[in-house]
């Protein structure tokens, strides 16, 4: 799909169009032959230009039919970027089903209510790319129609912002495709190999550490989770050096459970079906590294993924075990299904001890409690540093992904302690907070942020910019974090 600015495109040049209309729209802003249509729609109260409102029609242009969708923009008080994204995404998919090849977008009415054309340029391009994705790799009869060209007019579009949006959209889609791959296809080895290839394509370095190297690093917590599977674990280390004049380095850690059965604390069948998505944190940091490198962001970034499966065998770790960790702390295993935090703490220790990072952000599909906290539309965050959190918060706002900071009260700290070991991996309620605090126990005196995307990494149905399945949550916020830290 090629996006092109063309302020002079006409209805005769496209076979589908999306036209944004505000509530106080000026009929002079639309083609003359459509003015009467809009006037009648408004009089009949079929379309008022309200946000979340749309009207589809097939319109005869001289001798050809054009599939046309009006989307409501509302007014300056009711307009929101996420609703706008959703409208564009839904309209794009509807027109694609009509098998159009050339799409025209006219957003001139948006000038009346939202005056950030550069931001809209990025928003539109990333939205179109993200809306163009569907996971149908395994369908034998898939009929994925290709929309070839999108023509843009109505705003002073910025080409650099359009290009940035396209890269962000493609990076998000790559992360989604990783999350959506079934676990029999995406093993830790396959994830490592795909990351290697992705790094070559995007411009960041990748090092893969195998079982012997992981063992030599004394990553016992990580290995305890991995040893129940016949699939060998992989420690995936990604490095991007965007600023040779600075020693400052951002550290990203993503949870990489390519499948989670729950181990001996086995999940019910319904709970296991989507556990291929338990590497949504890994997808986020890999996708973000691709965007950071492609855009040439002037920040040094290292990302680490401890990739493995949590399975059942005679080698599996057991409830009641006491294990060690790379950080030297002993851990009582209260639940083998609280495995992600075990892999993360060794990855966090590794990135501090061996990669010399100055700040750490870890991201993970970590707790079901996160869904109880904020549902599927926002990610809980914990942090030990107000300044670092503030930068992350703004990065989420720029990406239009929702987050909310959870408290770290002193009263909670006793919950992760255990009478037989230094820590327990199953501290109970409030589960999202205690899981994050378990990770914090392995963070040295540097800024740290923890993001739980258990609710936001996967959608049960298609809506707006998201298809059913992985969402790529976190990719764009992590990119904007690195961009903000650039010097």
Q: What is the 3-state secondary structure (H, E, C) of the chain?
A: CEEEECCCCCHHHCCEEEEEEECCCCHHHCCHHHHHHHHHHHHCCCCCCCCCCEEEEEEEECCEEEEEEEEEEECCCCCCHHHHHHHHHHHHHHHHHCCCCEEEEECHHHHHCCCCHHHHHHHHHHHHHHHCCCCCCCCCCCCCCCCCEEEEECCCCCHHHHHHHHHHHHHHHHHHHHHHCCCCCCCHHHHHHHHHHHHHHHCCEEEEECHHHHHHCCCHHHHHHHCCCCCCCEEEEEEEECCCCCCCEEEEEEEEEEEECCCCCCCCHHHHCCHHHHHHHHHHHHHHHHHHHHCCCCCEEEEEEEEEEECCCCCCCCCCCEECCCCCCCEECCCCCCCHHHHHHHHHHHHHHHHCCCEEEEEECCCCHHHHHHCCCCEEEEECCHHHHHHHHHHHHHHCCCEEECCCCHHHHHHHCCCCCCEECCCCCCHHHHHHHHHHCCCCCCCEEEEECCCCCEECCCECCECCEECCCCHHHHHHHHHHCCC
Q: Is 476 part of the annotated catalytic residue set?
A: no
- Compute the distance between CA of residue 136 and CA of residue 66 in angstroms, rounded to an integer: 28
Q: Is 35 part of the annotated catalytic residue set?
A: no
Give me 362's structure tokens: 């870890």
- List the catalytic residue out of 78, 267, 413, 484: 267
- List the catalytic residue out of 249, 255, 341, 476: 341
Residues designated catalytic = 267, 341
């Amino acid at each position: 799909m090629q996006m092109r600015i063309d302020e002079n495109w006409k209805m005769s040049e496209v076979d589908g169009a999306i036209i944004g209309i505000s509530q106080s729209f000026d009929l002079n802003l639309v083609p003359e032959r459509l003015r009467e249509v809009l006037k009648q729609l408004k009089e009949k109260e079929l379309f008022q230009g309200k946000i979340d409102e749309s009207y589809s029609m097939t319109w005869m242009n001289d001798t050809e039919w054009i599939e046309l969708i009006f989307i409501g923009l509302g007014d300056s008080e009711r307009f929101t970027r996420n609703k706008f994204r959703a409208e564009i995404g839904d309209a794009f998919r509807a027109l694609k089903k009509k098998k159009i090849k050339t799409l025209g977008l006219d957003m001139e009415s948006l000038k009346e209510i939202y005056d950030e054309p550069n931001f809209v340029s990025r928003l539109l391009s990333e939205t179109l790319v993200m809306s163009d994705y569907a996971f149908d790799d395994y369908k034998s009869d898939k009929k994925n129609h290709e929309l070839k060209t999108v023509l843009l007019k109505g705003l002073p579009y910025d080409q650099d912002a359009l290009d940035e949006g396209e890269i962000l959209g493609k990076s998000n889609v790559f992360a989604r495709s990783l999350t959506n791959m079934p676990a029999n296809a995406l093993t830790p080895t396959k994830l490592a190999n795909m990351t290697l290839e992705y790094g070559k394509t995007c411009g960041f370095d990748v090092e893969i550490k195998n079982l012997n190297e992981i063992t030599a690093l004394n990553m016992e917590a990580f290995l305890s989770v991995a040893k129940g599977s016949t699939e060998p674990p992989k420690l995936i280390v990604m490095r991007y050096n965007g600023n040779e004049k600075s020693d400052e380095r951002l550290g990203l850690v993503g949870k990489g459970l390519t499948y989670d059965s729950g181990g001996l604390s086995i999940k019910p069948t319904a709970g296991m079906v989507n556990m291929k998505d338990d590497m949504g944190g890994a997808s986020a940091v890999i996708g973000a590294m691709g965007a950071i490198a492609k855009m040439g962001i002037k920040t040094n970034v290292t990302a680490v993924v401890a990739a493995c499966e949590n399975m059942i065998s005679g080698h599996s770790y057991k409830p009641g075990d006491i294990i060690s960790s790379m950080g030297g702390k002993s851990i009582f295993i209260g639940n083998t299904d609280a495995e992600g935090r075990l892999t993360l703490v060794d990855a966090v220790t590794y990135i501090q001890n061996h990669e010399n990072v100055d700040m750490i952000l870890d991201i993970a599909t970590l707790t079901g409690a996160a869904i109880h906290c904020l549902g599927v539309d926002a990610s809980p965050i914990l942090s030990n540093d107000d300044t670092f959190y503030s930068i992350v918060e703004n990065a989420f706002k720029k990406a239009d992904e929702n987050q909310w900071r959870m408290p770290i009260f002193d009263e909670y700290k006793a919950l992760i302690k255990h009478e037989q070991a230094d820590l327990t991996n199953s501290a109970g309620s409030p589960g999202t907070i205690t899981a994050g605090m378990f990770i914090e126990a392995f963070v040295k005196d540097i800024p740290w942020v923890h993001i739980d995307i258990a609710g936001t990494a996967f959608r049960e149905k298609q809506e707006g910019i998201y298809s059913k399945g992985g969402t790529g949550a976190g990719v764009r916020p992590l990119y904007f974090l690195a961009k903000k830290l650039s010097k």
